Chain A
């Protein structure tokens, strides 16, 4: 019989192994799914040939990821002559490690019942870092490290395409980190914890998903998550048509695989975060309940609900990719700074005021006595939708994204001078 500490350690190691294996497999198969979805959207066949090797069984192309992986392993390891070698090799490792490590704080369900036969006497949380109280900040921090991988890759490649791609994507990622953080702040404020499992538990207990209570925050967070993951319509990091692939133009072989896989993992992380923060995590009304004690059936059901929601979101990501055109860079920046940031601030202020009103010492008791517990929740939901409506109306009326986008050669100099912000100072562009 193992001691308690050893059991805990083994449990952590098993979780890590399962988690990493699961993510890598999922990322590989999502590549296949993406290609099949693309084919479906564009009304053609996707990769559907590779099945079980040495047989003629095709299995809808399920062997494709394996074949791709083998092919990439045996690709020539080519490092261009003028690159900054240490940074060039470190960049994909950094981005991949950070992308994977973010999963340490992401729960994949609620808990699994204790397994006394193996000496585990307490329910097992489906989360690696069970004691980490700053889980949300940890995930946020690690997803920010992706910027480093991108910048390092773009800089070290010594190619203009890579450099421009790295520059653009770093600007994009840092610009959208602010709305992302504002979306997180609203949720954290409402459930006073940075633990992701506590955030799910809070939604399960109240039965009100944050997408219902804070629709504006959801919109902001969703858009920012798309941009952080670098998915269309925000894939200016790569934009094959202009930059030949952006920051990883000069990469090949396994290092390219690391970059591409890391991007898919970012998408998976983003989906998990959206589901956990705003779509109730493993909670589904009338199906999963909200108690802490669940049997095996309940635990598996909750896991299934969480996975289904996440899968749905990933599918949504893919559909968006094949049905939306790409933003122009000025639109991208305008959207981040002039639309998403103000909307995020608006949402945060609204949430702050609502939660402050709901506090017993302010107006909470009064509201409860007038409306009842459910009535109060409904009241704040309605307020949230009202704020979202007002915010989107304000954006529609002010039209911050519409600017003068005529090519510069069509503007006479007088006109250009009038548009400059500082008299007599040449524009930096």
Chain B
């Protein structure tokens, strides 16, 4: 039964959902758009306050529905910060009509769904939370614009997304069939006992289906085709939502499921998890090189970032011991947080721009932006440098964590040369890709600062998106200068959440687990990025 503590834990999500419902309901009663926007901000603020407040400190006793561990808290924080940026920075001139309330409310639903995915400890709740992300997204895409291109992209996303949801649900059904439980924790241990007893023919298929569903959310390699078309057809803010919310969901789901189902030291599985990021990164980066359409370029870049995120997941899968698990999970989280801020900042900045009353579509239209909007150009440059991974910025630390994690696992698993080679390959391909990516990110920066406008008209920006973009840029700079707080926070989350879950799933004795945790915790303060 649900107890009070569960509900108390969920207060931020409940606030978001109820607030969103109220805003949507108020919309047809001719509430003014500015009031609704203020209400949206107030709802997000209230959710933030309750996430720090005492309400969420309630201790769950043997709860089957929710995780209340640092991992879920970390992901909920990332989500709420993204929500704050999104709700505050969303351009007010994107489309002025009586549907503003629906747009704000549905956005809040999406972020509430992301937070629920991070906290879900039950397969059915996980699926419902995933749908809470997907279904409002479809509507948001349709609400965005009304031309042939946007209709095409909305329909494309809608059909492919329900297809992937069906895959996901089908996989969950198989998991339930095999393990007889919908609880994530007990399904993990049940699955491992199945594997030990050798009756494992269906298990990999179930896992494959589930990860297909999540891979679509991430836009990972075989399921990435939709991204460029959909981003191009969507409004900038919707594209920003697509670039961030599904990524949070995908990472949360992957980390949680892998932790609970216990990564097996299985070279074939490692190979799959290593090949996918390698191809995803390369496809994304190479594809982006040729793009002249802004959102298409960013779509390919987001595919590439999905590949980087999956490096961490591959490290988690290959990790022989707690060190590998923690390295993989924490570097993925770090990268996700940094990517979310940079990506949302970029899309906010683009959404605020107007050239001749229109949203700029092509990179050429941004030529010479620095003369008219120096602050915005500065912010955009910071985002591009960060996504490229240029040293003083936050993105550098994200990439560094991923690559060092892969290298460290490669050294640690010298017993299995195949796995070690895959890990090394991940690191090498990752570095090469970063170099390729720098080419197109620098092209954007060059266009902003050094090219002369092709026509007389230079884009202008709305004030609020500009402020939000500059704020995001400052945030990225701050993280870049002092990444230690964030890194150790995510490491702590991974240590206290991932390690016990994996140990439970793989049936490690408590004493060994305790030892592993302690060794990791004591190593934390001395952890420099180059360690």
Contacts and interface: CB of A to CB of B under 8 A. Distances in A.
A and B touching (Cβ–Cβ under 8 A): yes
Interface of A: 421-425
Contacts of B146: 425
How large, as a class, is the contact surface on chain B? Answer: under 10
B99 interface: yes
B362 interface: no
Interface in B430-448: none
A27 B99 CA distance: 52
Interface of B: 28, 97-99, 146
A421 B98 CA distance: 8
Question: Which 6 pairs from chain A and chain B are nearest by CB?
Answer: A423-B97, A423-B98, A422-B98, A422-B97, A424-B97, A422-B99
Contacts of A421: 28, 98
Contacts of A422: 97-99
10 contacts: A421-B28, A421-B98, A422-B97, A422-B98, A422-B99, A423-B97, A423-B98, A424-B97, A425-B97, A425-B146
Contacts of B99: 422
Nearest to B99: A422
Contacts of B98: 421-423
A376 to B, nearest CB: 32
The B interface, classified by DSSP as helix, strand, loop or mixed, is loop
Nearest to B96: A423
Given A421-B98, A423-B98, 7 more contacts: A421-B28, A422-B97, A422-B98, A422-B99, A423-B97, A425-B97, A425-B146
Contacts of B97: 422-425
A423 B97 CA distance: 6
A368 B146 CA distance: 63
A421 B97 CA distance: 10
A91 B97 CA distance: 45
A227 B422 CA distance: 67
B404 to A, nearest CB: 53
B93 to A, nearest CB: 15
B28 to A, nearest CB: 8
A160 B430 CA distance: 61
Nearest to A426: B146
Nearest to A423: B97
Contacts of A424: 97
A106 to B, nearest CB: 36
A422 B98 CA distance: 6
Nearest to B97: A423
Contacts of A425: 97, 146
A424 B95 CA distance: 11
A424 B99 CA distance: 11
A424 B98 CA distance: 10
B33 to A, nearest CB: 11
Contacts of B28: 421
Nearest to A424: B97
A337 to B, nearest CB: 15
A427 to B, nearest CB: 14
A425 B146 CA distance: 9
A422 B99 CA distance: 8
A308 to B, nearest CB: 49
A134 B99 CA distance: 43
A424 to B, nearest CB: 6
A421 B102 CA distance: 14
A425 B98 CA distance: 11
A423 B27 CA distance: 13
A423 B98 CA distance: 7
B187 to A, nearest CB: 32
A422 to B, nearest CB: 6
B169 to A, nearest CB: 24
A425 B143 CA distance: 11
Contacts of A423: 97-98
A425 B28 CA distance: 15
B99 to A, nearest CB: 7
A416 B128 CA distance: 41
A323 to B, nearest CB: 39
A209 to B, nearest CB: 38
A421 B146 CA distance: 16
A425 B97 CA distance: 10
B221 to A, nearest CB: 39
A419 to B, nearest CB: 13
A425 to B, nearest CB: 7
A118 to B, nearest CB: 48
Nearest to A420: B98
Max chain A CB contacts within 10 Å: which of B28, B98, B146?
Answer: B98
A424 B97 CA distance: 8
B142 to A, nearest CB: 12
A425 B142 CA distance: 13
B52 to A, nearest CB: 39
A418 to B, nearest CB: 13
A424 B146 CA distance: 11
A423 B28 CA distance: 12
A46 B99 CA distance: 59
B70 to A, nearest CB: 43
A383 B392 CA distance: 74
A422 B146 CA distance: 13
A426 to B, nearest CB: 10
A87 B410 CA distance: 63
B453 to A, nearest CB: 31
A324 B106 CA distance: 46
Nearest to B146: A425
A147 B97 CA distance: 38
Nearest to B28: A421
B103 to A, nearest CB: 13
B194 to A, nearest CB: 36
B357 to A, nearest CB: 15
A423 B30 CA distance: 12
B164 to A, nearest CB: 29
A234 to B, nearest CB: 29
A423 B146 CA distance: 13
A131 to B, nearest CB: 30
A215 to B, nearest CB: 31
A422 B28 CA distance: 9
B385 to A, nearest CB: 40
A84 B99 CA distance: 42
A217 B146 CA distance: 44
B92 to A, nearest CB: 16
B150 to A, nearest CB: 14
A68 to B, nearest CB: 50
A422 B142 CA distance: 14
B36 to A, nearest CB: 15
